[in-house]
Amino acid sequence: MDFNLMIEVTPLLVKAAWITIDISIRSLFFGFFIACGLVFLQSFQFAPIRWFARGYISVIRGTPYFVQLLLVFYGGPSIGLRLDPITCGVVVGAFNIAAYMSEAIRGSIESVDSGQVEASRSLGFGKVQTLVSIILPQSAALMIRSIGILAIVLIKNSSLVSIISVVELTYQAQRLIGSTYKPLEIFTLSAFMYVIIIYAVMGIIELAYRRAMRYTTL
């Protein structure tokens, strides 16, 4: 192991790691809203709207993220969809994770006992008030934990955007290997950085989970 080299390339990898974090956070942020939209669409009485949401989720879950990324980045321009690499990574990441996240959100909402809804409605609360005051506080803990798992998936998925030449952690590692011919050192270092990022995320999730657990008995 060439430790001097490892120390030398660390600043470059740390910088690239920020791109990884940046892409992941933005994907998670937009993905959350898309996921909420998908949950909402599935509550429609009008069946075709529900089918659209279910269909979208099936297609996204039924195809590899890698293929989705390549399709949008290389196929998109043919239909006028030109995205720069980072935007493409964020957008595809968001739309991808939203499919999984909508299922996680729906599952956590459905895990709340139906008697809770009946009790709330019987007091005269409307659907939205019931959701906000009764259902969400009780499903928050489970929701946080499931979304946290997806955040970790998202961070690891972000290594795939290296294929469309976004200079994130994995692409930077490959570049450095191209000039130093030391894959063991550099990939070890980049793997270690992923571990740090992911453990930090897990810590945040755990704290949020414990906070939310105060309000739940599930």
Partner 1 sequence: MNTERNKDEPMIEIRDVHKSFGDLEVLKGINLTVNRGKIVSIIGPSGSGKSTLLRSVNHLEVIDQGNILLDGVQVNRPDMKGLQFERHINHIRQNMGMVFQHFNLFPHLSTIDNITLAPRKLKKMPPKIARELGMELLNRVGLASKADVFPNWLSGGQKQRVAIARALAMEPKVMLFDEATSALDPELVEEVNQVMQSLAEEQMTMLIVTHEMGFARDVSDWAMFMDGGVVVEECAPQKLFSNPDQERTQNFLRKHLNS
Q: Is 216 among the residues that bind partner 1 (CB under 8 A)?
A: yes
133 binds partner 1 (CB under 8 A): yes
Q: Can you tell me which of 118, 184, 199, 210 binds partner 1, judged by CB under 8 A?
A: 118
In whole angstroms, give the CA distance from residue 113 to residue 185: 52
Q: Least distance in Å: CB of 37 to partner 1? A: 21
- Closest to partner 1 by CB, 117 vs 163, is 117
- Cβ neighbourhood burial of 64 (10 Å; 0-12, 13-18, 19+): exposed
Under the criterion CB under 8 A, does residue 46 sit at the interface with partner 1? no
Q: How far is 216 from 169, CA to CA, in rounded Å?
A: 38
Backbone angles phi, psi at 196, to 5 degrees: -60, -50
C-beta closer to partner 1: residue 98 or 140: 140
Q: Which phi-psi region, left, alpha or beta, contains residue 171 (left: φ > 0; alpha: ψ -120 to 50)? A: alpha
**113 touches partner 1 (CB under 8 A):** yes
Interaction of residue 206 with partner 1, rule CB under 8 A: no
Our finding on whether 122 is near partner 1 (CB under 8 A) is: yes
End-to-end CA separation in angstroms for the chain: 49
Q: How far is the CB of 120 from partner 1 (least distance, A)?
A: 8
User: Residue 12 or residue 109: which is nearer to partner 1 going by CB?
Assistant: 109
- CA atoms in the 13 A half-sphere facing the CB of 209: 15
145 binds partner 1 (CB under 8 A): no
**Can you tell me the distance from the alpha carbon of 134 to that of 48, in angstroms, rounded to the nearest whole number?**
29
Contact footprint for partner 1 (CB under 8 A): 113, 115-116, 118-127, 129, 133-134, 137-138, 215-217
